[in-house]
Amino acid sequence: MQSAFDLTQPLLEQIYVLINILPQPSNQRWLEISDLQDIQSAFFRPNLASNNQESLPCIEMISQHDKMIILGKPGAGKTTFLQYLALQCIQELYKAELVPIFIQLRSLDLDIAEGQEWSLVKYLVQLGHRYTLSQEQIMILIEQGKFLLLLDGFDELSDSENEFIFKEISQFAKSYYKNVIFLTSRSGIQKYHFQGFNYVEISDFNAEQIKEFSQKWFVATATNKAEGLIKAEQFIEQLEKANNQPIRDLGVTPILLNLICSVFKEKASFPTKRAKLYQAGLDILLKKWDQARGIQRDQIYRYLSLADKIKLLSQIAATTFEQNNYFFESSDILYLIEDYLKTLPNVKSDSETLWLNSEAVLKAIEFQHGLLVERAKDIYSFSHLTFQEYLTARKIVANHAPHILQQELSNLVSHTHELRWREVILLTVSMLSNADFMLQEMRRQIDVLVEQDKTLQEFLTIIAEKVKLLQTPYRASAVRAFYFTLFQNRDYNLAVSLDVRFASLDNLPEAINLDLTLVRALTDSLTLLKSSELNMKKFLNFYFSLDIEKKFVLDPIFNQALQSLKSELPNLENKKEIQVWLQNNGQEWVEKLRNFLWQYRQLGYDLNLSTSQQQQWQQYYRANQFLVECLQSDCQMTNDVRELIEDSLLLPSPTQ
């Protein structure tokens, strides 16, 4: 006897990835918000689905239980898992002694709606007739427990159908308990409890599962295996980049990972305007996923249009994100929903009805769309941090009144220095019809950060004056960025972003290259002084790094002063003499080198920064990097403003 479902078997086998199972559904766990926050404390960008419950391979779980309710978010892979089990059973790789029957419960809707005396036993008997099996033969199989019943989509039924199917399955499981029954439903099912069934939940994909799915997906959709593997490797390489973390966050859900793969396949890259990708993901969860499968749900909140749902979700996202809350009590969300419902026409305004409606809306968002997820008993979060960030940005951009929008943007850019606001700011910039005001405000906020730091202002003044004297063909702001990090960690990323010629340090203009060589020598000398024991190799590298007259055309006076300084160094042939010299004369000589660099090259300044100053300077530098990233993103702004901002970076405050 064959399985009763229509499936493209080769495609399923080509791309299927074994899922993991959480032995206890998240919403049944009694945890506090602090417990969930502790799990996330080690991460700058939290993985909202991460918890301290270990997931188990699905094969291990199904081998331990013969009655299971398998819960999962929309698109988590519930249907595909049951189909995979059916194929494994047919191929005698799983419970070969059983007959697999895959039933999409929504396909039974018409029978139930028309009031026919439908029962699971009758259904199996009718199915057996197609394969010339008599009623008696089918009943023997049922009584002996020879069926693997794979019942898909309990959540896709209407309320009346739910009640009917619940009673039917419960009675069948009690009367014919030897049969194996697995039933799937979206997370959030509360009303019905199937006695004797183990409730489990499909876990999000981990990194290895994302990689495996991607490889299989690109191979299955390519003209040949080699091409597919190359594309998959490119996809994984791009996905693992730090700036693609928000996209990677979405990939833990199979249906969204499928979307991401499809988008990447077109151009072998992710879209520069990420907001379009995130909106496509929202569309899938809010409407297209059910529409594609012909599901018409009872709309608990049918009076909310699609636009209303997005506005409500945006309000929840923005409020919780601004409060630095990734996890929130259900009561906090209910108040936000209640406030929103009050603004709608034709909504009963008495407090009891509003509260009940708010509870219904919260459950509908969780159950039908999976955008809010119960991570523990009465504790929620967004399904993906990426959606919380996108909806927060969307709420800001949706303010059409110019004065309100400008106020919202001013509030937003006050968070420019906070790493957790990075994605919200990038998304907002990308969605604005004109980002001039916002990016000018960002630049102003960055300058305000260090306006009162006299040491930094003096440093910026020195750099600005030096760059004027250099007169290189390179962009002045890029040269300032180069010198800003020259005496610190030599991070040239900002310089490269502003002028790509800085990517090749071997081809720098001679004046800049000379300064780089001299600063390296000073840094090496300071390292030698800090060492308790002499490292001869490092000393030799330092010694010969001063032979710059062999690499550069030097001013005679500069060269004479340099040679005089070098003449004070100890004899290379006597290691003991070098050690004694470093102890007795090293510090004084390094100060001479520093003064020499200051006199002839305006270099060598001893910043001597406190820990708090170092942190502030790093924050200032990173903020400038972030501003340039925003400027160079695919945002809409006038070229003159873009050029003006880029040219004015890393300049001292006008008041200095």
Under 8 Å between Cβ of 154 and 189 = yes
Q: What is the pLDDT of residue 463?
A: 93
Q: Residue 453 is encoded by which pair of tokens?
A: 């730091």
Q: Which of 40, 176, 158, 34 is nearest to 108 (CA)?
A: 158
More confident position, 449 or 39 = 449
pLDDT digits (tens, 9 = 90+) for 108-140: 754 555 556 778 999 899 888 888 889 999 999
> What is residue 6's predicted lDDT score, i.e. its pLDDT?
37
Burial category of 41 from C-beta neighbours within 10 Å (exposed 0-12, middle 13-18, buried 19 and up): exposed
Categorize the per-residue pLDDT at 422 as very low, low, confident or very high, splitting at 50, 70 and 90: very high
Region of 19 on the Ramachandran plot (φ > 0 left; ψ -120 to 50 alpha; else beta): beta
Higher-confidence position of 557 and 25 = 557
Mean of pLDDT values over 328-344: 92
Task: Calculate what percentage of the chain has a pLDDT beyond 90.
Answer: 52
* Res. 632: pLDDT tops 50: yes
pLDDT category, 488, cuts 50, 70, 90? confident
| pLDDT grade for 11, boundaries at 50, 70 and 90 | low
Mean pLDDT of 72-92: 90
Between 27 and 352, the higher pLDDT residue: 352
Give the side-chain half-sphere CA count within 13 A for 194: 30
User: With 70 as the cut, is the pLDDT of residue 49 above it?
Assistant: no
CA distance linking residue 519 with residue 151, whole number of Å: 71
Biggest distance spanned by C-alpha atoms of the chain: 110
Give per-residue pLDDT as tens, 561-591: 999 999 999 888 888 888 889 889 989 999 9
Q: Which of 250-259, 431-440, 449-458 has the highest mean pLDDT?
A: 431-440
Task: Return the CATH fold of 9-202.
Answer: Rossmann fold (3.40.50)
| DSSP code per residue over 243-300 | GGHHHHHHTTSHHHHHHHHHHHHHHTS--S-HHHHHHHHHHIIIIIHHHHTT-----T
What pLDDT is stored for residue 437 in this prediction?
A: 96
Q: Are 385 and 248 in contact (CB under 8 A)?
A: no
pLDDT band at 530 (very low <50, low <70, confident <90, very high): confident
Mean pLDDT of the chain: 87
* Confidence label for 289 from pLDDT (cuts 50, 70 and 90): low
Q: Binning pLDDT at 50, 70 and 90, where does residue 9 land? A: very low
Indicate whether 282 pLDDT > 80.
yes
Contact 192, 166 (CB under 8 A): yes
Name the helix (H) or strand (E) containing 102. strand 99-104
Query: In 377-501, where do the E strands start and end?
Result: 379-382
Mean pLDDT within 209-238: 93
Confidence of residue 357 (pLDDT cuts 50, 70, 90): confident
- Those residues whose C-beta lies under 8 Å from the C-beta of residue 457, and which sit 6 or more positions away, are 450, 451, 652, 653, 656
Helix or strand run (H / E) with residue 149? strand 147-152
- The predicted-structure confidence for 376-412, as pLDDT tens digits, reads as follows 888 999 999 999 999 999 999 997 788 899 999 999 9
> pLDDT (tens digit, 9 = 90+) per residue, 455-479?
999 999 999 999 999 889 999 999 9
CATH 2.40.50 fits 297-398, yes or no: no
What mean pLDDT comes out for the span 520-531? 85
Sequence spans of domains, the chain: 9-202, 207-292, 297-398, 403-488+613-656, 501-606
DSSP for 271-284 reads: -S-HHHHHHHHHHI
pLDDT digits (tens, 9 = 90+) for 177-201: 999 999 999 876 667 889 999 999 9
pLDDT value of position 52: 57
Tell me the average pLDDT across 302-312: 85
CA 413 – CA 654 distance, rounded (Å): 21
Question: Do the beta carbons of residue 388 and residue 372 sit within 8 Å?
Answer: no
Burial class (CB within 10 angstroms; exposed 0-12, middle 13-18, buried 19+) of 401: exposed
